Amino acid sequence: MASNDKLNSFINGQQQLYATVNFGNMIYVASAGNCPVNLDQNDIFKIPVENGIGQLIAVANTDQNDNLNASSATGQNTVHVSAPGTNVLSLSPAGNQPVILGGTSLSAPIVSGVAAMLMAVNPALNGNQLINQLSQQNVFNVANLPVVWGGRITF
């Protein structure tokens, strides 16, 4: 099972989520945030890692050329992977007009979707095994991309 949210939401509700995320087949995919900061240098974002949340995946936003979006948060030790999230065709809040959007909130669902597809193919994977497979087999290496897994998710 994969859950998708913003990293700051994870931190705000951390006590309940620590128990949930570390339970069985749950992984938690979080948007790293649309603030051009290095999360490695911000103590509040180290909390999930320091508390043993091994099944958390934080996602940065890249464009169609695998360049980090200027508004995306990064972190060589805290943000795991990137996914496309720039110039995404979507619908307006009213749902009746096409709009172009961008941000890590559009990147994280891609990682959740890839995780869901892997679980559909192999439902016996637990959360840690799923993350290992994602990080070792489903990442396209991108030079100089400051994320833990060194690139963007592939599907």
What domains are there in the chain, each with its CATH number?
2-153 (3.40.50.200)
Q: 122-129, long-range: CB within 8 Å, 24+ apart, which pairs?
A: 125/25, 126/24, 126/25, 127/21, 127/24, 127/25, 127/26, 127/27, 127/54, 127/55, 128/54, 128/55
Per-residue pLDDT of 88-116, as tens digits, reads 999 988 878 999 999 999 999 999 999 99
Sign of torsion, CA 61 65 66 70?
negative
Residue in 62, 72, 4 with CA at minimum distance from that of residue 34? 72
Q: Is the pLDDT of residue 130 over 80?
A: yes
Between 1 and 63, residue with greater pLDDT? 63
With cut-offs at 50, 70 and 90, classify the pLDDT of residue 20.
Answer: low
Q: Is the pLDDT of residue 47 over 50?
A: no
With cut-offs at 50, 70 and 90, classify the pLDDT of residue 50.
Answer: very low
Q: Name the amino acid, one letter, at 139.
A: V
d(CA 5, CA 24): 19
pLDDT at 128: 84
From 10-24, 25-39, 78-92, 136-150, the region with the lowest mean pLDDT: 10-24
Residue with tokens 């709009």: 99
Consecutive H or E run containing 106: helix 104-121
Q: Whole-number mean pLDDT of the chain?
A: 82
